[in-house]
Amino acid sequence: MNKTRGIYEELKPYRNFDYDGFFSGLADKDIQTILAKDQLTALDYLALLSPAAEKYLEPMAQKAKAITLKYFGKTILLFTPIYLSDYCTNKCKYCGFSALNTQPRKMLTLEQVEQEAQVIASTGLKHILYLTGDAPTISSVQYMKNCTKILTKYFSSVGTEVYSLTLEEYKELYEAGVDSMTMFQETYNEALYDDIHVAGPKKDYHFRLDAPERACQAGMWCVNIGALMGLDEWRREAFFTGLHAAYLQDHYPEVDINISVPRMRPHTGDFQPLVDMTDMNTVQYILAYRLFMQRSGITMSTRETVDFRNHMMGIGVTKMSAGSCTAVGGHIHKNANSGQFDISDERDVEEMKKAIRQQGFQPVMKNWEPLVGES
């Protein structure tokens, strides 16, 4: 089934690329020329991620705003995550769920999933994204399918954000009612990836890197990728994420390819961001990506502050999580386990909707209705 050469091969020319040389060779005129183009090449995108493009953020934002308006209108799609299980066999230095952290673990029973679903659904949200830790024997594919059956009763769109699965497993989830898949490579830097993923199944860089493509092949309608910003030099991570998204869009034009721009947040454990990514860097990444991948959705989570999220509407970001809780069972027990990371934007769904309207946008709770499966 897989006729493509794979994203690993696709990224090859850029692994030993002279980034510093490329950046130092850029003049104002180059950035201006790129800003006037309709379609950007990979290297144009890299140029917009460069230090030389920093003084062009305002014209980039103006252009990004026009493009976003053209393809997405004045809307922000809302969704929320639901954490099913925080059992995890991985030892990832940066994550609150890491097996290295000795916190008590929890996994929702199907009854609890239903209760959580009811609480979340009562806010009016129709798009949900479920997450589990990496413990295939505990939060198995069968368990996910059982949860999906419950979630599809309350939500029109169900997304999966779990450990890497095989093509067959993605097909099983798709058939059970999952329509979208989210998978963060965390870092595209192989050596660093190896270092921060101390042990566990997630250590397999390739199996994770190819997972979004397998999800496309399994028939998912939406595939969302991203690098965890703060692990490695951000310009490169942003560049590789964009190339990965472009690769998927080129090979699977029927799939809606999205990216997320998650910045590291404080979490349980003592590993803190290795690299500081400022607000300005984050804005530059979002704007450059919008100019490069004009029709691709961009998701921003509640990791970001209220003020920052408000400013991001309309200049690139198209999807936001709302009323998030990153702890298992957090919607029904306010004193649940510690979450995967701390959230910044604590607004509930109503407040979020109000804020979106204040920005002149329409909060969209639902833009998807499955035609297959049980009605």
Partner 1 sequence: MDSQEDKFILGGRELKSRLFIGSGKYSDDRLIPSIAEHSGAEVITVALRRIDFESKTDNVLIHIPETMQLLPNTSGARTAEEAIRLARLSKAAGCGNWIKVEIISDAKYLLPDGYETVKATEILAKEGFVVLPYISPDLMVARSLVDAGASAVMPLGAPIGTNRGLKTKELIRILIEEISLPIIVDAGIGAPSHAVEAMEMGAAACLLNTAIASSPQPLVMAEAFGQAVAAGRKAFLAGLGVDQTIAQASSPLTGFLHE
Near partner 1 in 179-198, by CB under 8 A? none
Binding residue for partner 1, selected from 63, 91, 105, 149, defined by CB under 8 A: 63
Q: Closest approach of Cβ 139 to partner 1, in Å?
A: 39
Q: Sign (positive/negative) of CA torsion 231, 235, 237, 241? A: positive
Q: Using CB under 8 A, which of the segments 35-43, 44-52, 129-137, 363-371 binds partner 1?
A: 35-43
Binding of partner 1 at residue 153 (CB under 8 A)?
A: no
109 CB-contact burial (10 Å; exposed 0-12 / middle 13-18 / buried 19+): exposed
Residue position matching structure tokens 């510093």:
20
Q: Please report which helix (H) or strand (E) contains residue 284, including its range.
A: helix 279-292
Q: Closest approach of Cβ 287 to partner 1, in Å?
A: 8
Question: Any long-range contacts for 323-328 (C-beta under 8 Å, 24+ apart)?
Answer: 323/80, 323/120, 323/123, 323/125, 323/347, 323/348, 323/349, 323/352, 324/80, 324/81, 325/81, 325/83, 326/81, 326/83, 326/96, 327/83, 327/86, 328/83, 328/84, 328/85, 328/86, 328/106, 328/107, 328/108
Give the residue with the Cβ less far from partner 1, 61 or 356: 61
Number of Cβ atoms within 10 Å of the Cβ of 150 = 20
Q: Closest approach of Cβ 58 to partner 1, in Å?
A: 5
Binding of partner 1 at residue 307 (CB under 8 A)?
A: yes
Q: Closest approach of Cβ 60 to partner 1, in Å?
A: 8
Binding residue for partner 1, selected from 12, 37, 74, 354, defined by CB under 8 A: 37
Cα 36 to Cα 127: distance, rounded to the nearest angstrom: 36
> By C-alpha distance, which of 299, 288, 292 is closest to 262?
299
Give the residue with the Cβ less far from partner 1, 284 or 337: 284
Binding of partner 1 at residue 78 (CB under 8 A)?
A: no
Q: Using CB under 8 A, which of the segments 31-39, 118-126, 190-198, 355-363 binds partner 1?
A: 31-39
Cα 140 to Cα 136: distance, rounded to the nearest angstrom: 5
Q: Closest approach of Cβ 330 to partner 1, in Å?
A: 31
80 - beta bridge partners?
Answer: 128
Binding of partner 1 at residue 315 (CB under 8 A)?
A: yes
Binding of partner 1 at residue 367 (CB under 8 A)?
A: no
Binding of partner 1 at residue 61 (CB under 8 A)?
A: yes
Cα 364 to Cα 74: distance, rounded to the nearest angstrom: 10
Cα 243 to Cα 364: distance, rounded to the nearest angstrom: 29
Alpha helices (runs of H) in 85-227, residue ranges in sequence order:
110-121, 141-154, 167-176, 190-196, 205-209, 211-217
Q: Using CB under 8 A, which of the segments 58-66, 131-139, 219-227, 235-243 binds partner 1?
A: 58-66
Cα 348 to Cα 311: distance, rounded to the nearest angstrom: 18
Binding of partner 1 at residue 15 (CB under 8 A)?
A: no
Binding of partner 1 at residue 33 (CB under 8 A)?
A: yes
Binding of partner 1 at residue 35 (CB under 8 A)?
A: yes
Binding mask 221-250 for partner 1 (x = CB under 8 A): -----------------------------x
Q: Using CB under 8 A, which of the segments 34-42, 120-128, 222-230, 364-372 binds partner 1?
A: 34-42
Binding of partner 1 at residue 279 (CB under 8 A)?
A: yes
Q: Using CB under 8 A, which of the segments 7-15, 56-64, 193-201, 213-221 binds partner 1?
A: 56-64
Give contact residues for partner 1 (rule: CB under 8 A): 32-33, 35-37, 39, 57-59, 61-63, 65, 250, 253, 279-280, 283, 307, 311, 315
